[in-house]
Amino acid sequence: MTSVDNHTALFSSDELEGLFGQYSIFRRIALGVSGGADSMALLYLMKQWCLQAGKHAPALYAFTVDHGLRKEAEHEAAGVARYCAHIDVPHKILNWVGDKPSSNVQSEAREARFALLRKAAEESSCEALFLAHHLEDQAETFLTRLARGSGVYGLAGMRPERELDGIHLCRPLLNVSKVRLKAVLTDARVPWFEDPSNDDTQYTRVKFRKAQKRLDKLGLTALKLADTAQRMTRAADALDTWVDEVAEKSCTFHSAGPVRFDSSCLEYLPDEIGLRLIARLIRYVSGAAYTPRLAKLQSVVETLSCDEGARAATLGGVQFARAKPHDESIWFCFREAGRMGLPNISVQPGDEGVWDARWQFFASSSAEPFRIACVHDAQIGDFELEIPTNWPKSAFLTTPVIVFADGVSYMPWKKIGRTPAAAEVRSRISGISMAPVRKTF
């Protein structure tokens, strides 16, 4: 492990409370700890805050991902484990198994790391996952997205906190410089590892990191870039408030997932609001983590804005279908099956997971085996009788259905009636829970 000679005072009690006090609402917190200076500082500082908070502090759980990309990674993970044992924080090493990418390595590794950390957090009943991104990381994110031509939302950078599929993702160190974090570790005699890939200029983020000294001379310091990102965050939040108000008036959200959208609102909305509205519709309906690129969004918005002509559009796994000719401004947005179709999975008692990134399921130990498919694949005979008034059949073909071994089925978005047959279904699904992953727009 490495240390640095830079004597900066440790964080005061008030500073620790300012950084972490708002998180005392959580009972259990997961920490992503790679062994680098940033994450080791997060681990150390949060442990100090917990000791300061006493019995009101949440429990900490540390996780280290070994990507299997560097031979030193196993040794580094073991070093983190030893330090966690020293400060009495439970620790687990998570391994990225399977074939590794030959290109876009950092991006793929980042996604795999987050997926492993998120799953580990859930399995440990943690309400939040903390990551150690700091001031310079925020500045690099801003520059990287600026180079891509990102708009307001991209330039807003990383948020200190957001909720993602039921877990809080927190970055409490975004306003703290890496120099300060390293100095804290040195003063506290906490070791860390240096990852050589952080100096490899084949990666875009490293190039911007290397350029920061030249940017400092021009006044574009990491602090100023991060401040600009924060201002963009405020602007993005203001736009989102506007989008929420428009969506409330122009969208009808069905509990099964489809949305009925009145596109006449696009006639008077500023372009940015219209684009953001459609982007959020696509994420809501598809369950995707990210929105499509701007150019593709613009094309869909143009289609939806036309009074005549196109009757359908598809983007990001979502199909937009225009209503009947007498109501040209009404569109139905629903999940597209695509060429590969939708998942058809078998569920055993005790299983839990997510179907098609949209529906979370859980089967208790008392539940009987079943499978989850989309309505179209299950070929339910009386499905058309279940279609809500003023909605097309096509909007519900890609909604989920639970199918038991004997063919009895249940659509989790439908209310169960009071007939004898319905009573039997109610009894059989008593140990099964299935609900949308995203319940809000």
Q: How confident is the model at residue 2 (pLDDT cuts 50, 70, 90)?
A: very low
For residues 104 and 343, which has the higher predicted lDDT (pLDDT)? Answer: 343
The predicted-structure confidence for 7-61, as pLDDT tens digits, reads as follows 345 799 999 999 999 999 999 999 999 999 999 999 999 999 999 999 889 999 9
Report pLDDT for 407.
Answer: 84
- Output the DSSP codes for 25-64: G-SEEEEE--SSHHHHHHHHHHHHHHHHHGGGSPEEEEEE
On whether the pTM is more than 0.85, the answer is no
| Stretch among 99-103, 144-148, 156-160, 223-227 having the lowest mean pLDDT | 99-103
Query: What's the rounded Cα separation, in Å, for the pair 289 and 248?
Result: 22
5 has pLDDT over 70: no
Tokens of 191: 């070791």
Residue found by looking up tokens 């805050």 in the block: 49
For residue 377 the two structure tokens come to 């694949």
Q: Could you please report the per-residue DSSP string of 347-379?
A: E-TT-EEEETTTEEEEE-TTSPPEEEEEHHHHT
Is residue 373 within 8 Å of 304, Cβ to Cβ?
Answer: no
CA distances from 105 to 73, 99, 148, 304, 312 (A): 15, 12, 19, 37, 37
The structure tokens listed for 227 are: 């401040």
Q: What is the rounded CA–CA span in Å between residue 322 and residue 317?
A: 17
Helix pair angle (135-147, 204-217), 10° resolution: 100
More confident residue, 142 or 380: 142
Q: Which residues contact 327 (CB under 8 A, 6 or more apart)?
A: none
C-alpha distances out from residue 47 to 189, 399, 406, Å: 14, 45, 54
- Write down the mean pLDDT value for the chain: 88
Question: ∠ at Cα 369 (363, 371), nearest 5°?
Answer: 90
pLDDT at 342 over 60: yes
Question: For residue 321, which of 400, 275, 259 has the smallest C-alpha distance?
Answer: 259
Torsions phi, psi for 347 (to 5 deg): -120, 130
Length of the chain: 441
pLDDT digits (tens, 9 = 90+) for 132-183: 999 999 999 999 899 888 888 889 999 999 987 778 999 999 999 999 999 9
- Angle, helix 37-53 to helix 178-187, in steps of 10 degrees: 60
Beta pairing class for 409-410 and 400-404:
antiparallel
Judge whether residue 232 has pLDDT over 70. yes
pLDDT at 381 over 70: no
